[in-house]
A and B are shown apart, each in its own frame.
Chain A
């Protein structure tokens, strides 16, 4: 929007001349909306322009200690059309002293957890949010960790690399300098021995927000049951609080954050390249996809970096193998959750084992691959590894997935247990910002690889898998369908992969990233994985936000479970397929 004429012609600014203006900062796109008119604008965006899918909602702290420089918070929204196409980005700027923004909860229910996260970590108050409380940190925590003036428990320096590592090299452990107990800030007058958590009460109170009415039932008392945090079916440390009427669920709230390590704050201390191995640890079952999303987001900011052909093919091969291994894991453990104890999951993991062997030979590690670089990949794909990929794509995987299909798909117990359970309609799925297999199992054929193609996905011949019932069984089937489609892509990719360099230019340890914002998203195995990055032209990202599909897909969990039986919670959770490393970040 540098061109003056273009700004005047801009239809959105022309439509709302009073309170919308184009973002003219260098490297930024989108619109800045006046806070008090946000709801009207968002309503028009959703209903008139058709941007009905709220992909990402996050806040940025433009904090400056310089005199004269303006400090403010910016809440950034990325919305898409569920029929495909690019993003509409708009943001609201609020002063740091009174960070109040109207909540989009009632327009986009998918904003629920994301607004709570922004409140928790950045301290933005969303007016009108019915349940605005902490989500990742604990209730009673002091401060908002992602604010630039907040320091973590083992704070050393503002930015990496830290000064004392070289050339002085004075070695010490940071926990020896700031021993446990002295490393945490408490609220004024806080006595840990006397403190009673208000979190429990807040959680139980919030259950009454949802209304489930069924006139046929008997009058009974309701009880609250905690599933987890320590429960084998929660795939990690994750807790679900359900309110029950008999065995029927009348309210449900996921409680998370037990594995929270403030990944985004770490990411803002890191330099750009240091974040690549950290993204491996988000969704640790599909590290290659995480690398892909982050590399795409940063490469968008670096116009001079171009990815060579061979590297693009390697990236696609790796991303699709990751999808297959992730879906095998998801299917295996869904069956595990249903009580088919470990036989299906072990059959599924056998194939995953071979894929991980390939990753190990190529990237050096089975799960923490750390394979992508800005402008390519870190190592070439050797002929042996390519041969393994070929034999997997053409021979082993199709045969074995077929076996898994015939093993489970028509099993009467599986069908009885899954069909009609946890239904999410297409409208609800879009409204709740559900992504990936959840969205497509509800009958919305939305796949980022087709809807907003990245890398070289527009070259491959594949179908967007879609199923129409929106229940757990369809979420199981959609994963099988996607594995078949991934195998199709793989077969084309291993056939067409050209010779050539695997890296555009030399891999640099100091990356120059021009100032600006970028949102890179990929179709990860669990759904749309987005990285929102703001660079101020220095060596470290100013803001590093992850749109984590596991986290946002949980927003719809209550909707899926209301009216079901308590035993179905486990199955529904298994069908959402979360990884806590990504949910809690």
Chain B
């Protein structure tokens, strides 16, 4: 019968329409502006309205989410900040848009390179968030951030980040990527223990 296809299609639209109300009624106020509600709306058994009301509601980002790199520092017991970066330059070499600049320092007395960067710049305008720097850093010193709300009014003045602006603490890193941090921390501790054992032995 002519028109049956259209009618069948409209039934689907109608079902979607009704379903959004059924789901709203079933969940009540919990469906919007709560973590539980957001989690439900992005699960595979969701029905009805999908929309997340950004910025009032935000989707939680998964642990592996990557957006712009930052440098990790360790807080020592005396309160100073120890960069994990040794300015080896691998991140600058692997960076596809070449947006990382590192100044390596030499010891004034011996003339040999000191394993920490004097300055570290990343041009956030041309960073393509690929995550290679974090992936290939042998010292776990550069990591990808979760903070994606970065808009500024003047990109030319503000978007080349220097070391001070890039540095974030190890505690912050542990808070955004707990699983990765646990793995890396275990390896780091093991290495430190081995080193200590070697020093005792010698």
Contacts and interface: CB of A to CB of B under 8 A. Distances in A.
B32 interface: no
Nearest to B98: A162
A231 B6 CA distance: 28
Nearest to B61: A360
A77 to B, nearest CB: 31
B89 to A, nearest CB: 4
Contact of B98 (A165, A277, A350, A379): A165
A411 B9 contact: yes
A364 B64 contact: yes
Interface stretch (B76-84, B127-135, B167-175, B189-197): B127-135
A165 B65 contact: no
Query: Which secondary structure characterizes the binding site on chain B?
Result: mixed
Contact of B130 (A160, A167, A362, A370): A370
A362 B62 CA distance: 9
A365 interface: yes
B5 A412 contact: yes
A270 B102 contact: no
Contacts of B16: 347
Nearest to B66: A364
B9 A507 contact: no
Interface in B65-106: 65-66, 87, 89-90, 92-96, 98, 100-104
B42 A408 contact: no
B103 A396 contact: no
A160 B98 contact: yes
B98 A412 contact: no
A395 B43 CA distance: 12
Interface string A158-171: 00111011111111
Contact of A407 (B12, B66, B104): B12
Interface string A517-529: 0000000000000
Contacts of A275: 96
A495 interface: no
B2 A169 contact: no
B19 to A, nearest CB: 11
Nearest to B8: A406
Contacts of B129: 365, 368
Interface string B115-146: 00001110100001111100110000000100
B3 interface: yes
A343 B160 CA distance: 42
A378 B2 CA distance: 53
Contact of A167 (B96, B102, B123, B136): B102
B87 A270 contact: no
Nearest to A343: B13
B130 A412 contact: no
A329 to B, nearest CB: 16
B42 A354 contact: yes
Contact of B87 (A167, A411, A414): A167
Given A350-B50, A378-B135, A408-B9, A360 B98 contact: no
Nearest to B12: A407
Nearest to B96: A274
A363 interface: yes
A139 interface: no
A413 B6 contact: yes
Q: Which among A343, A361, A365 has the greatest number of chain B C-beta atoms within 10 A? A: A365
Interface string A387-420: 0100110011000000100111111111100000
Given A353-B42, A413-B6, A166 B98 contact: no
B130 A173 contact: no
Given A353-B50, A361-B62, A273 B132 contact: yes
A347 B64 CA distance: 28
A391 to B, nearest CB: 5
A412 B96 contact: no
A284 interface: no
Interface in B1-37: 2-6, 8-9, 12-13, 16
B160 A368 contact: no
Given A165-B92, A407-B12, A354 B44 contact: yes
B66 A171 contact: no
A357 interface: yes
Contacts of A156: 98
A278 interface: yes
A509 interface: yes
B5 to A, nearest CB: 4
A165 B132 contact: no
Contacts of B8: 406-407, 410-411
B178 interface: no
A403 B132 contact: no
Contacts of A391: 44
Nearest to A391: B44
B98 A161 contact: yes
Nearest to B125: A173
Nearest to A269: B98
A365 B144 CA distance: 11
Contacts of A409: 5
Interface in A116-175: 156, 160-162, 164-171, 173
24 contacts: A161-B93, A165-B92, A165-B95, A165-B101, A165-B102, A166-B92, A169-B101, A169-B119, A169-B120, A173-B160, A270-B96, A273-B94, A277-B96, A277-B130, A277-B132, A278-B96, A353-B42, A361-B62, A361-B64, A363-B64, A365-B65, A365-B129, A507-B136, A509-B93
Interface of A: 156, 160-162, 164-171, 173, 270-271, 273-278, 343, 347, 350, 353-354, 357, 360-365, 368, 370, 378-379, 388, 391-392, 395-396, 403, 406-415, 507, 509
Give the 9 A-B CB pairs with smallest separation, nearest first.
Answer: A410-B5, A167-B104, A166-B89, A277-B130, A169-B103, A274-B96, A361-B62, A364-B66, A169-B101
Given A169-B120, A407-B9, 8 more contacts: A166-B92, A169-B121, A274-B96, A357-B42, A362-B64, A395-B44, A406-B12, A408-B9
